[in-house]
Every structure is written in C-alpha cells, then in structure tokens.
C-alpha cells in the first residue's frame, strides 16, 4: 500500500462527506433492524394499542414450534438444492461455452437473459408451465405416466420451487464461471495435454482447483440468494404450500407478520434470519481474506 495519503484541510469535511451514506444506512438498515429487535421481545395487537414486554417468549415458542423447526429444515434443503443445481448446471454451461470457438458471445448473451427477469415474473412463468390444471409440463408428464400435482404433493412442490429458483440463478453463476475460466492459464492446460491428460483429467486436476475462489464466492452468494431472495418465486408459485412443504423461513416471516399480523413472532423470526446472514457473511469474509493472502 504505497498510495498517497490524502489529507483534508478541514477536520470535519470527511465526516460531512460520510453523512449521506451513514444516514442511508442508519435510516434504512440500522433503525428498522433495531425496531425488529425491539418488537421481537414484545407481544402486541395488530393496531398497537397494547404492548407487553415478554422477554424471550417469542423466541422460546418459535424454537419449540415443530412448524418453525420444520421450516428451518426445509430452508436448508431448499438452499442446498438450489445452490447445488444452479451451480453445477451453470458450470457445465460455462465450460461448454468456453470450448465453443465461434459465436460464444451470442451464447453468453442468451444465457444471461434470465437474470434480468424479476423473481415474481419467474414465479409466474413457472406457475403457468407447471399448473396442474392448465400447465404444459403436467400434461407432458402425464404422458410419461407421472401424475404431477404440486398442489397436493409436498415433494413435487419442493422440486418445483427448486427448479424455478435455480433457473433464475444460473445466469449469474454462469457469468462468474465464464470469467473464472478465462483466467485459467492456457499454458498449464496445454502442458497437461502434452503430458497426456484427457479433457476430464485436465478439468478436474487443473481447471476446477483454479476455479475454487470463484466457486466458493458463488457458493455463499447462492446460499444467500436461496435463503433470502426467493420470496417472489415462492409467493407466485406455491405460497409456501402444500401443508407448509415449501414454507421457507423468509416466506414464513411474511405470512406470520403481514397476513397473520403476529408482529412479535414475525420480528423474532427476522432477527433469527439476521443472525444467520451475519454468520454466513462472516464466514465469507474470513475465507475471502485467506484467499487473497494465498
């Protein structure tokens, strides 16, 4: 770090320059987070006439509620499946595009499109395709002898939302993988080829390890995406059903708080979510730091 140190003539100027950013952070992030923390210790009627401080009652009830614990488990399954599916598919696509000599720009552009689609629109597209009554997919599946009805079958519903959520994320992962692949030194791959390593061997022993930083970054981003950014998809497709089979944590916060008007419990749930995000982010930073030193 040999960059020239800038000094300000006015002692307060740097603080003034920071004010807009700090104000945005305080008003839109810190203040609501504190509000959520506060109401997570309270029981309140929807209109806010009677507020009772109940200590950890909201948390205690959540942790003994089989529905909540079930939702935690489902969120884990969902996040893991979405991450695994979208990352493996996008890696395959990226490797394929990397090998295409002509018009790989065109493929790249086409593959990035889904990322521009809003989650709720993704949800509606998939809702149409897989609608048990009017959808094309159940119609085709019936032809293959599979009775598709994610309105009733919880496993099918989970598969369905995992597909929809992964589809949306493939473009994002794909872009990073393509960039990562381009930074793999061609000379090492050629050297391995001269030594007689086949394409698979080359991929697993050279390309994949060199992609590790990208893969790890994407892993964290994808888990975060699956856990917190898929609200729109769930809302437009299954609304958490059937029988809570796809009711992931972030959706449960919404149903309990906004539909159920149970503000205390909903706040406690968002505080728990906040803790999970903080933990995930901490892991990411530690790891990324280590990679930089490496």
Partner 1 sequence: MLSNSAKLGTRKSQHNNNKGVSMSKKVLCLSVGLTAMLAATPAFAQTEIAWWHAMDAQLGEKLQEIATGFNESQSEFKVIPTYKGTYPETLTAAIAAFRANEQPAIVQVFEVGTGTMMAAKGAVYPVYQLMADNGEPWDPSGFLAPVTGYYSDVDGNILSMPFNSSTPIMYYNKDLFEKAGLDRETPPKTWAELETMSRQIVESGAASCGLSSAWITWIQTENLSAIHDQPFGTLDNGFGGLATEFNFNGPVQVKHWDNLKKWADEGLFQYGGPVGGADSAPKFYAQECAIFMNSSAGRAGVIANSKEFEVGFAPLPYYDDEIAEPKNSIIGGATLWALNGKDPEVYKGVAQFFTYLSEPEIQAGWHQFTGYLPITNAAYELGQSQDYYAQNPGSDVAIEQITRGTPTANSKGVRFGNLTQARNVVDEEFEAMLAGSKTAQEALDSAVERGNQILRDFEAANQ
Residues of this chain that bind partner 1 (CB under 8 A) = 28-29, 32-33, 36, 43-50, 131-134, 149, 151-154, 224, 228-229, 231, 239, 241-244, 249-250, 253-262, 270, 273-274, 277
Q: With respect to partner 1, which residue has the nearer C-beta, 100 or 147?
A: 147
Nearer to partner 1, 94 or 263 (CB): 263
* Residue 202 beta carbon to partner 1: minimum distance, rounded to whole angstroms: 38
- Between 106 and 243, name the residue whose CB sits nearer to partner 1: 243
Which of 40/108 has CB closer to partner 1? 40
- Closest Cα to residue 89, out of 177, 179, 190? 177
Find the shortest distance in angstroms from Cβ 278 to partner 1: 8
Nearer Cβ to partner 1 (112/274) = 274
Least Å distance between CB 273 and partner 1? 5
- Kindly tell me which of 206 and 273 has the beta carbon lying closer to partner 1: 273
Least distance to partner 1, CB of residue 191, Å: 44
DSSP the chain: --PPPP--SSSSHHHHHHHHHHHHHIIIIIHHHHHHHHHTTEEE-TTSS-EEE-TTHHHHHHHH-HHHHHHHHHHHHHHHHHHHHHHHHHHHHHHHHHH--SSHHHHHHHHHGGGGS-HHHHHHHHHHHH-TTT-HHHHHHHHTT----TTT-HHHHHHHHHHHHHHHHHHHHHHHHHHHHHTS-HHHHHHHHHTT--HHHHIIIIIHHHTHHHHHHHHHHHHHHHHHS-HHHHHHHTTT-STTTT--HHHHHHIIIIIS--HHHHHHHHHHHHHHHHHHHHHHHHHHHHHHH-
Structure-block tokens of residue 282: 């901490």
Min CB(175)–partner 1 separation in Å: 20
Tokens of 199: 């394409």
d(CA 5, CA 67) in angstroms, rounded, equals 55
Closest CB 244 distance from partner 1, rounded Å: 6
Kindly state the smallest distance separating residue 37's Cβ from partner 1, in Å: 10
- Residue nearer to partner 1 on the CB measure, 123 or 257: 257
CB 237, min distance to partner 1, A: 11
User: Which CB atom, from 67 or from 96, has the smaller least distance to partner 1?
Assistant: 67
Q: Which two tokens stand for residue 46?
A: 């929807």
């Amino acid at each position: 770090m040999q960059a020239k140190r800038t000094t300000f003539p006015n002692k307060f100027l740097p603080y003034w320059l920071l004010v807009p950013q700090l104000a945005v952070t305080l008003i839109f992030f810190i203040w609501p987070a504190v509000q959520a923390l506060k109401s997570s210790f309270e029981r309140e009627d929807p209109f806010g006439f009677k507020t009772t401080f109940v200590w950890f009652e909201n948390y205690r009830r959540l942790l003994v509620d089989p529905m909540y614990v079930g939702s935690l488990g489902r969120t884990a399954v969902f996040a893991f499946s979405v991450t695994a599916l979208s990352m493996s598919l996008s890696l395959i696509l990226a490797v394929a595009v990397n090998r295409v000599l002509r018009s790989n720009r065109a493929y790249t552009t086409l593959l990035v499109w889904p990322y521009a689609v809003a989650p709720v629109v993704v949800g509606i597209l998939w809702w149409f395709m897989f609608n048990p009554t009017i959808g094309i997919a159940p119609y085709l599946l019936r032809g293959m002898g599979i009775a598709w009805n994610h309105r009733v079958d919880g496993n099918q519903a989970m598969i369905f939302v995992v597909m929809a959520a992964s589809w949306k994320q493939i473009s994002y992962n794909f872009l990073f993988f393509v960039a990562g692949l381009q930074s793999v030194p061609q000379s090492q791959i050629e050297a391995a080829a001269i030594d007689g390593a086949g394409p698979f061997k080359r991929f697993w022993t050279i390309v994949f390890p060199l992609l590790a930083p990208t893969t790890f970054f994407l892993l964290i981003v994808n888990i975060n995406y699956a856990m917190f950014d898929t609200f729109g998809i769930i809302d437009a497709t299954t609304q958490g059903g059937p029988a809570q089979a796809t009711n992931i944590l972030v959706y449960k916060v919404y149903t309990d708080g906004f539909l159920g008007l149970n503000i205390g419990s909903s706040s406690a749930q968002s505080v728990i979510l906040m803790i999970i995000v903080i933990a995930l982010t901490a892991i990411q930073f530690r790891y990324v730091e280590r990679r930089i030193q490496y």
